[in-house]
Amino acid sequence: ALVTGGAGFIGSHIVDELLKREYEVRVLDNLERRVHPKGKPDYIPEEVEFIEGDVADKEAMKRALKGVDVVFHQAAYQDYMPDFSKFFRTNVVGTAMIYEVIVEDGLEVKRIIVASSQAVYGEGQYECPEHGFMMPPARSREQLDRGEWELRCPLCGRIMKNLPLKEEHVNPYNQYALSKYSGELTALRLGYRLGIPTVALRYSITQGPRQSLYNQYSGICRIFTLRLLNDKPPIIFEDGLQQRDYVHVDDVVRANMMALEDERASYQAFNVGGGKATTVIEYAKLLAHKLGKDIEPVIPGEYRFGDNRHSVSSIKKIKDVLGWEPRKRLDEIFEDYIAWVRKQGDLRAFFEEADRLMRRMRVIRRRRA
């Protein structure tokens, strides 16, 4: 089995599970410096064949795919930085390269599981009380500068209700979402055309041990935990009422294995999510409780341009087709992550540099008074 991005958060857990199932495992990973500033992580098992290289590099992909039966394509570029072309080079060209090399070298790859993202839904799926189902455009800077956080119907201006995100409606807007959907579509269509069973899994916010402490994209579990452990309050964007769903990395790995083993999944995209909406304020307070910190979050009226207001995936399709549903609750996610973070040494430097960089790039902005 080949795991691209196998040094990363989700990929490394897939590697562990494949080894338990007695697969011979090869990893292709470029050890992106912003995610792996110290190089190859020490949690990569010795028995894994490790190739340091880029998924968009044909020679690296040729070495990686040789003799492989199944591919778990987890490599991706994820960040909030405006280096747009890098997203497409890694997330689209890197995906196309797998199929290009398979055809060019006449390889007998039997199945490909591709990591996609909840981000493909863009601003999401909504219902207007008067005009029904809507997929609104992303919120403008002007709206966010006014501190108007909720989505309004573009026809009548009324506040709309967010709906659980279903697989059939996508609406990507930012560079990450556009590149992930382009990569997913490339994989599913080329897979079908070439007769290589391919499955795309659209992960919700995945959390657990080994989430990069350096990459700002690692999200609020990392940021809030680091602040609380340094006795600083979590800083919440917008008003804290935005909804998200969270899934444990172990549950994501299990979804990958089910997609590998069940032919009914072929050529389809599935949400892999937590199945439950949680507001950011609820999240921050539960995390503080788990850490034993009596620190209230701060809501300064800032926003991160490009964030969606609400993102909660429906998991009905994967439950109906594959029988998958999450086993670990949010409090268990916190327990596993906190236990791992406490082993990582001095935590002060991790969150400060990423936050400074985002402010310098004007990704984080304050609403107008």
Strand pairing report for 132-134 and 70-73: unpaired
pLDDT recorded at residue 102:
99
Q: Are 85 and 49 in contact (CB under 8 A)?
A: no
For residues 45 and 50, give the distance between their C-alpha atoms in angstroms, rounded to a whole number. 10
Question: For the packed helices 58-65 and 94-105, what is the interaxial angle rounded to 10 degrees?
Answer: 60
Beta strands in the chain (DSSP E): 2-4, 26-29, 49-52, 70-73, 111-117, 126-128, 132-134, 161-162, 198-203, 205-207, 243-244, 246-248, 269-272, 278-279, 302-304, 364-366
Residues annotated as catalytic are 176
Residue for token digits 């804290």? Answer: 240
Q: Which CATH number fits the domain 208-244+278-311+330-369, given the four candidates 3.90.25.10, 3.40.50.720, 1.10.3720.10, 3.40.50.1110? A: 3.90.25.10
pLDDT of 23 reads 98
pTM for this entry: 0.93
Cα–Cα distances in angstroms (integers) from residue 106 to residues 65, 139, 192, in the given order: 11, 46, 16
| Residue 348 burial (10 A CB sphere; 0-12, 13-18, 19+) | exposed
Please give the chain's pLDDT, 369 residues, in tens. 999 999 999 999 999 999 999 999 999 999 998 888 889 999 999 999 999 999 999 999 999 999 999 999 999 998 777 889 999 999 999 999 999 999 999 999 999 999 999 999 999 999 999 999 999 999 999 999 999 999 999 999 999 999 999 999 999 988 999 999 999 999 999 999 999 999 999 999 999 999 877 766 557 888 898 889 889 999 999 999 999 999 999 999 999 999 999 999 999 999 999 999 999 999 999 999 999 999 999 999 999 888 899 999 999 999 999 999 999 999 999 999 999 988 887 666 665 665 665 566 555 567 776
Q: Which pLDDT does position 337 carry in this prediction?
A: 93
Q: Is 114 strand, coil or helix? A: strand
294 contact partners, CB below 8 Å, separation of at least 6: 288
- pLDDT value at position 34? 81
Q: How far is CA 69 from the centre of its chain?
A: 25
pLDDT the model gives residue 64: 99
3-class SS of residue 304 = strand
Contact 8, 31 (CB under 8 A): no
What pLDDT sits at residue 361? 55
| Domain boundaries defined on the chain | 1-122+166-204+246-274+313-328, 126-162, 208-244+278-311+330-369
Distance in angstroms (rounded) separating the CA atoms of residues 128 and 198? 36
Cα–Cα separations (whole angstroms), residue 327 to 247, 273, 333, 354:
9, 11, 10, 32
Helix, coil or strand: residue 270: strand
CATH no. of 1-122+166-204+246-274+313-328: 3.40.50.720
Domains 1-122+166-204+246-274+313-328 and 208-244+278-311+330-369 in one fold: no
C-alpha angle 265/195/107, rounded to 5°? Answer: 115
Query: Structure tokens of 55?
Result: 């998924």
Distances in whole angstroms, Cα of residue 339 to Cα of each of 38, 97, 215, 300, 367 = 21, 38, 20, 30, 36
Provide the angle, in degrees to the nearest 10, between the axes of the packed helices 94-105 and 175-194.
Answer: 20
Predicted pLDDT at 59: 99
